Amino acid sequence: MRSLAIGATGMLAQQVNVETISNNIANATTTGFKKQRAEFQDLLYQNFRRIGSTSSDAGTIVPTGVQVGAGVRVAAIGRILEQGNLTVTDNKLDVAVNGAGYFQVQLPNGDTSYTRAGNFKLSPEGVIVTADGYQVIPAITIPTDAVDVAINPSGEVLVKTDGQVETQNVGQLQLATFPNAAGLEAIGDNLFMETPASGGGVVGNPGAPGFGRLVQGALETSNVNIVQEITTLITAQRAYEMNSKVIKTTDEMMQTVGQLR
């Protein structure tokens, strides 16, 4: 009976759905995290009576036909890119992007990755790096005698040294945008990699047309809505249970057939 296989595809699809939801909930407090959503497609149909075929010599047309579906599959797990809330930290090196754009980060192998997490630190040499010590691109070094650091909405990094009245510009933070940011590949550690699906990155200064502005002393929170995720989780659980009920019912029907004398 096809319903056994159909119910199994439904359970597998809802398993992936629950895994996606659980990942969202687990990252509810991850800086710059963007929630994901499982998307489904129905499988191929078997035609027992094809729609639009003729049903007589007079040319009458079958209006609906007989099609039996084969179940469901996960077509994609899309990333929802809506802006997260900004939370004030008052840390001079915490920077949030308010709008479009990703910070550029140089990986140890020389590749460029991208992130929305602006919880930056200083390396032993005074270079601005991520929490894992990866250098932010372009490289910006804060002087050892700096007594204050200011990052304006346009990404200029201004420092004041002891004994100086005027600030000194030591670098410019830049952002990268993509034609299809949802096509970036997540590699963990709050980092993404460019892919053919994302398109090539366009680099520019914060505040320029098409780019977000920077907010110093703040971080972008995860855009996960816990209440919404719990509701979706309950729906997925019920769908999983219903598919398991289909399999159980089908098994009972087959037992009934097997007991016929």
Is 127 found in the same domain as 211?
A: yes
2-26 vs 226-258: helix axis angle to the nearest 10? 160
Is 182 found in the same domain as 92?
A: yes
Is 146 found in the same domain as 38?
A: no
Q: How many domains does the chain have?
A: 2
Domain that holds residue 189: 86-220
Is 55 found in the same domain as 160?
A: no
From the list 204, 205, 182, 206, the residue with the least C-alpha distance to 194 is 182
In which band, very low, low, confident or very high, does the pLDDT at 62 lie, cut at 50, 70 and 90? confident
pLDDT in tens, 166-185: 889 999 999 999 999 999 99
pLDDT in tens, 212-255: 999 999 999 999 999 999 999 999 999 999 999 999 999 888 88
Is 105 found in the same domain as 68?
A: no
Is 187 found in the same domain as 95?
A: yes
pTM to 2 decimals?
Answer: 0.86
Is 123 found in the same domain as 55?
A: no
Q: Rounded to an integer, what distance in angstroms lies between the CA atom of residue 108 and that of residue 227?
A: 39
Is 248 found in the same domain as 188?
A: no
Q: Decide: 174 and 138 in contact? Cβ < 8 Å.
A: yes
CA distances from 80 to 18, 25, 230 (A): 17, 14, 17
The first and second tokens of residue 134, run together, are 């990866």
Is 189 found in the same domain as 99?
A: yes
Is 126 found in the same domain as 183?
A: yes
Average predicted confidence (pLDDT) for the chain:
92
Is 242 found in the same domain as 201?
A: no
From the list 246, 255, 241, 172, the residue with the least C-alpha distance to 211 is 172
pLDDT at 64: 84
Is 216 found in the same domain as 106?
A: yes
